[in-house]
Amino acid sequence: MDEDAADEYLYTNVLIVTCDAAHTIHQDGVLHVNAGKIASVGPASQLAPLLSRGIPAIDGGGRILMPGLVNAHCHAADCLFRGLIENLPLEAWLAQVMQVEKAVLTAGTSLLGAQLGYAELLLGGVTAVMDMYWFPEQNFAAAEKAGLRLAGGGIFFDGVGMDGVPDHERAERARTICREHRGSDRLLAGVAPHGTYTVAPDGLRAAWQVAAEENGFFHIHAAETRAEQETVRDRYGETVVRHLSHLGMLDGRTLLAHCVHVDEEEIGLIAASGAHVAHNPLSNLKLASGFAPVPRMLAAGINIALGTDGAISGNDIDMWLAMRLAATIHKAATGDATAVSPRQTLHMATLNGARAFGAGALFGSLEPGKEADFILVDRRAPHAMPMFDPINHLVFSAGRGDVRDVFVGGRQVVREKKLLTLDIEQIGRSLDGIRSSIAASGR
Ligand SMILES: [Zn+2]
């Protein structure tokens, strides 16, 4: 059968890791998809009547079938600058990043960068991404073409940013994006003010107002570095999270990227507000930002999602590496080998991400009524055998090379490791054409 075109189909002979609240696993499972949504999911023994109804069936060959991964913090188009600026402290690094972004970025190069990043994400089993970038309209165009679920929105940044948009136009631009995608389950819109050290309270208020009026998310970098905390304390007399709290900008629509430098009171403020945190372990390691207090934030009941940050702070945007780091670095950092369990980690990379997008009822786990966003993971690779606990395997041994098939909203976008929606050769040729100008901008 051509599962591309089928509206209704079954996946059989698969080990299903549902990532539901109870971490339910079906060793011999069946997934029933209808009109892009999950109609039912369960053990073959229970769903046997479905198999005799003549619904087209795909034999999953014993692979693991699990929800697509949710990348909760990314700057995908920064893949254009992968490996260009390395081995610098954060402030010097950021100054150079902004220099090359300013020199290279246009709507056209942003579209190319987003397509490059989304190809990498989809092939790595990511079906939804929160992408903060200078040309969000290009992100939406690229996501639509790629078949990726995107959460994106208007950037807020004081002064003229890399996109050339003046301050006074940002709110209207952000509002237009929200209105264009209102009601869409595939393209989720909100606002993305860069940070409290790059956006003054007036700009933050304008962003918040758009998010509140348009019912979108509010995604912001927060408490990533010590220097950022000192800058914000010098300017406003209080640290980043307290500043956001006093501005009334912590609630269920808020997604804070990083939260590396937060004290107990700030953890309490985030927890009480219902705001979400996107943890980015590789970026925090490589830029020497520090270790986010993930175990303490989890214990406080904060919804922690997982992200890769951009390829300029982590070189690739690999959610499997993010999972493995999230599940290991906090053990070393706290001296507690039980810190951040594999089950907590897998939820951070799936269901918690969807919740952080305000879309916990829409995707993030395999449950009836949700969007059919799922991936097939190889089980016959040497590093996958023997497999006693599939969740331990997915977090500690599996990698993106194991991802064979990817479906978003029931539609297949990767088949046997081949991306069906974007032409990677063509993307590569376009990159070849601008490679030397990107390299020159970094000097
Ligand atoms: Zn970031």
For residue 151, the CA-to-ligand 1 centroid distance in Å is 14
For residue 159, the CA-to-ligand 1 centroid distance in Å is 19
For residue 283, the CA-to-ligand 1 centroid distance in Å is 8
For residue 38, the CA-to-ligand 1 centroid distance in Å is 32
Whether the predicted pLDDT of 231 surpasses 90: yes
CA-to-CA dists, residue 51 to 13, 62, 175, 265, angstroms? 12, 17, 47, 54
For residue 376, the CA-to-ligand 1 centroid distance in Å is 29
For residue 36, the CA-to-ligand 1 centroid distance in Å is 31
For residue 79, the CA-to-ligand 1 centroid distance in Å is 13
Q: What is the pLDDT of residues 273-310, one digit of tens each?
A: 999 999 999 999 999 999 999 999 999 999 999 999 99
Whether the predicted pLDDT of 2 surpasses 50: no
Beta-bridge partner residues of 419: 414
For residue 310, the CA-to-ligand 1 centroid distance in Å is 6
Tell me the C-alpha distance between 376 and 67, whole Å.
Answer: 9
String of DSSP letters for 308-321: ---HHHHSS--HHH
Whether the predicted pLDDT of 123 surpasses 80: yes
Q: What is the pLDDT of residues 102-116, one digit of tens each?
A: 999 999 999 999 999
Beta-bridge partner residues of 66: 375
For residue 255, the CA-to-ligand 1 centroid distance in Å is 12
Residue 3: per-residue pLDDT = 43
Tell me the C-alpha distance between 393 and 379, whole Å.
Answer: 10
- Report residue 408's pLDDT band, with 50, 70 and 90 as the boundaries: very high
Residue 1: per-residue pLDDT = 42
CA 292, 151, 415, 51 dihedral sign is: positive
Using a pLDDT cut of 70, give the percent of the chain over it: 99
Whether the predicted pLDDT of 443 surpasses 80: no
For residue 388, the CA-to-ligand 1 centroid distance in Å is 36
Q: What is the pLDDT of residues 307-350, one digit of tens each?
A: 999 999 899 999 999 999 999 999 999 999 999 999 999 999 99
Mean pLDDT for all residues in the chain:
96
Residue 91: per-residue pLDDT = 80
Beta-bridge partner residues of 303: 276
| pLDDT average, residue stretch 121-145 | 98
For residue 132, the CA-to-ligand 1 centroid distance in Å is 7
For residue 73, the CA-to-ligand 1 centroid distance in Å is 6
Q: What is the pLDDT of residues 420-434, one digit of tens each?
A: 999 999 999 999 999
For residue 221, the CA-to-ligand 1 centroid distance in Å is 6
Residue 5: per-residue pLDDT = 52
- Report residue 259's pLDDT band, with 50, 70 and 90 as the boundaries: very high
Residue 6: per-residue pLDDT = 72
Q: What is the pLDDT of residues 194-228, one digit of tens each?
A: 999 999 999 999 999 999 999 999 999 999 999 99
| pLDDT average, residue stretch 353-363 | 97
For residue 196, the CA-to-ligand 1 centroid distance in Å is 13
Whether the predicted pLDDT of 375 surpasses 80: yes
Structure tokens at 112: 């190319």
| pLDDT average, residue stretch 59-67 | 98
| pLDDT average, residue stretch 400-410 | 98
For residue 258, the CA-to-ligand 1 centroid distance in Å is 8
For residue 25, the CA-to-ligand 1 centroid distance in Å is 33
Whether the predicted pLDDT of 4 surpasses 70: no
Beta-bridge partner residues of 70: 128
